[in-house]
């Protein structure tokens, strides 16, 4: 099914998404990659708060390239999600309801999506120019010293993704693929 989804993604909204659904996301998201996740974990260990309120937020695993004049980004694509898997439960405990990356996840991520009522979304790798055209604004929110890996607030305008893991723990990559006759 194809769904126009206005962000943020609440737990109630996340429950309506099923594996394989194509979503067109409009609204604000936050980028966060390896280095950002690590700094958040370290801050929490010190008893500090995360620099971003993750409640009902989509965590976009991306490190957008610096923009040429007149553009928001040069290119922008999701990074491999499995690298952030050790931080998934932390982010879900902080209130995140969705993650966006590419590739398969560790099996326990499906269990965490089911437990916390979250979804894992798949972006299309290799479509960075198309993705960049769907991002209308960008603002550094935290860890500016990380450059492209800083946490940024982006505005998506019909950014296309596929539901890879739903709130029931179903995983797109584990689904039966229909056999076609040639």
Give the residue numbers annotated as catalytic, written as ranges: 37
DSSP 97-160: -EEEEBS---HHHHHHHHHHT-EEEE--TT-HHHHHHTEEEEEEEE-GGGGGGSEEEEEEEEEE
Phi, psi angles (nearest 5°) of residue 125? -70, 145
CA angle 76, 110, 129 (to 5 degrees): 10
At 97, list the tokens.
């309801």
1: burial class by Cβ within 10 Å (0-12, 13-18, 19+)?
A: exposed
Chain position carrying tokens 């609440």: 10
At 21, list the tokens.
């659904």
**How many angstroms from the chain centroid is the CA of residue 176?**
25
């Amino acid at each position: 099914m194809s769904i126009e989804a206005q962000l943020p993604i609440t737990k109630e909204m996340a429950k309506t998404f099923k594996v394989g659904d194509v979503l067109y996301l409009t609204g604000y998201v936050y980028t966060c990659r390896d280095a950002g996740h690590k700094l958040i974990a370290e801050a929490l260990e010190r008893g500090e708060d995360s620099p971003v309120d993750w409640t009902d937020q989509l965590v976009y695993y991306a490190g957008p390239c610096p923009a040429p004049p007149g553009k928001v980004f040069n290119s922008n694509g999701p990074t491999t999600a499995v690298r952030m898997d050790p931080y998934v439960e932390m982010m879900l405990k902080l209130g995140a309801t969705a993650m966006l990356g590419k590739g398969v996840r560790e099996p326990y991520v499906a269990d965490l999506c089911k437990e916390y009522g979250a979804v894992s979304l798949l972006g299309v790798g290799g479509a960075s120019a198309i993705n960049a055209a769907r991002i209308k604004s960008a603002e550094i929110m935290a860890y500016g010293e990380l450059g492209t890996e800083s946490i940024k607030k982006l505005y998506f305008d019909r950014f296309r993704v596929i539901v890879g893991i739903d709130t029931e723990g179903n995983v797109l990559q584990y689904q039966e693929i229909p056999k076609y006759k040639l």
